[in-house]
Amino acid sequence: MAVTGVIRPGYVQLRVLDLEEAIEHYRDRIGLNLVSREGDRAFFQAFDEFDRHSIILREADHPGMDVMGFKVAKDTDLDHFAERLLDMGVHVDVLPEGEDPGVGRKIRFKLPTQHVFELYSEMELSQTGPAISDPDVWVVEPRGMRVTRFDHCALNGVDIAASAKILVDALDFSITEELVDEASGGRMAIFLSCSNKAHDVAFLGAPEDGKIHHTSFNLESWHDVGHAADIISRYDISLDIGPTRHGITRGQTIYFFDPSGNRNETFSGGYFYYPDNPRRTWKAENAGKAVFYYEKALNDRFMTVNT
């Protein structure tokens, strides 16, 4: 499969209440490498990522997400996608090289759910990224939960169908799976991929726009999800639910919270997606099994807590 255009999630910038406390959580517990600190922000990279950073934390007076960035294959793609977004009536800002350290020029736009997205094509390589000559499986032994990469975000908002439509029509994302209220025809959750993963971003219906449900990190195996649970228990990290498995995406998962209340997920597995695959659809009456395949029920906290 030739991956062109938008190729993958690149970074997310999260707001945290106490930067020092957050650094300890994301570096020592999740296992990210602290790349640099720039004013009120800290930049991190997972051990199996080539680019300079994927997680940015910004100290603020309330938690949540500032922006999610996706990498495109080449610089001219930025102009191409800017034109297509403008044709759909979406305002686009062009940001110069260097707004974030090590990152080239970007375009920025806002979706109907009020989430801010950026596209970029160039980022410096990480000094602690994977080896490329006779490479061992890692350069420095992973720590904490041993996450391999930033995987995806799930975002909350009202008109999630309108946001998904922009990603599909302007940026060539595919809808891989969705949860539908058959009585009304409304879509309760939409999962989208720009690659061959089960999802690279998800939208979950909610009564308020601009919220983030969770930031997800990839793990190598179901065993590593269990190891993450050991870390959560050992360091008294606030647990949401899991270890368990999703029906949607089939991924193995555990959810927990950072010290500021942002929900994190460590995620393993999930099916491979190809553009010729039929769309998978779940009925509202089976929402519990769709989200938590073993428990077959949703908990209130998972449905109502976001930042």
291 phi and psi angles, rounded to 5 deg: -85, -50
What is the distance between the alpha carbons of residues 302 and 280, in angstroms, rounded to a whole number? 22
Task: Please give the order of strands across the beta sheet that includes 251-257.
Answer: 239-245, 251-257, 263-269, 211-218, 149-157, 201-205, 187-193, 174-180, 280-283
Residue-wise pLDDT for 103-156, tens only, equals 999 999 999 999 999 999 999 999 889 999 999 999 889 999 999 999 999 999
* Predicted pLDDT of residue 184: 83
Per-residue pLDDT of 10-65, as tens digits, reads 999 999 999 999 999 999 999 999 999 999 999 999 999 999 999 999 999 999 99
Q: How confident is residue 198, by pLDDT bands cut at 50, 70 and 90? A: very high
- Domains: count for the chain: 2
Residue 183 covered by a domain: yes
For residue 138 the two structure tokens come to: 């890692």
The overall pTM is greater than 0.95: yes
| Parent domain of 58 | 4-118
165 and 291 housed in the same domain:
yes
- What SS3 class is residue 26? helix
Same domain, yes or no: 177 and 45:
no
211/115 Cα distance (integer angstroms): 8
Q: What is the pLDDT of residue 163?
A: 98
pLDDT of residue 207: 96
Q: Are residues 153 and 295 in the same domain?
A: yes
Within-domain flag for 205:
yes
The residue type at 186: G
Say if residue 92 is in the same domain as residue 156.
no
Catalytic site positions: 152, 199, 214, 246, 255, 265
pLDDT for 68 equals 98
- Do residues 242 and 177 both lie within one domain? yes
Evaluate whether residue 228 is within a structural domain.
yes
Separation of alpha carbons 13 and 294, rounded Å: 32
Residue of 253 and 1 predicted with greater confidence:
253
Same domain, 288 and 154: yes
**Domain end marker among 118, 138, 159:** 118
Position 297, amino acid: A
CA pair distance 203, 185, nearest whole angstrom: 16
Among the candidates 96, 118, 140, a domain finishes at 118
Burial of 172 (0-12, 13-18, 19+ CB in 10 A): middle
Q: Do residue 110 and residue 190 come from a single domain?
A: no
Flag whether 218 is in a domain.
yes
pLDDT value, residue 104: 98
* Claim to verify: residue 155 and residue 271 sit in the same structural domain: yes
Residues 97, 189: one domain? Answer: no
- Residues in contact with 268: Cβ distance below 8 Å, sequence separation at least 6, in sequence order: 218, 219, 220, 221, 222, 224, 225, 251, 252, 253
Cα separation, 107 vs 109, in Å, equals 7
CATH code (residue 84): 3.10.180.10
Q: Contact at 8 Å (CB) between 204 and 263?
A: no
pLDDT above 90 for 170: yes
Same domain, 86 and 218: no
Q: Please provide residue 236's backbone torsions phi and psi, each rounded to the nearest 5 degrees.
A: 55, 40
**pLDDT value, residue 92:** 98
pLDDT at 247 over 60: yes
pLDDT in tens, 52-97: 999 999 999 999 999 999 999 999 999 999 999 999 999 999 999 9
Residues 86 and 201 in one domain: no
Rounded CA separation 178/67 (Å): 23
At residue 2, the pLDDT reads 62
| Residues 264-302: tens digit of each pLDDT | 999 999 999 999 999 999 999 999 999 999 999 988 899
Separation CA 88–CA 128 (nearest Å):
40
Give one DSSP letter per residue of 133-191, joined into a string.
SS--S-SS---TT---EEEEEEEEES-HHHHHHHHHHHH--EEEEEEE-TTT--EEEEE
Q: Do 171 and 294 belong together in one domain?
A: yes
- Angstrom CA distances, 5 to 119, 209, 254, stand at 10, 27, 31
CA nearest to 58, candidates 266, 262, 263, 202: 262
pLDDT at 1 over 60: no
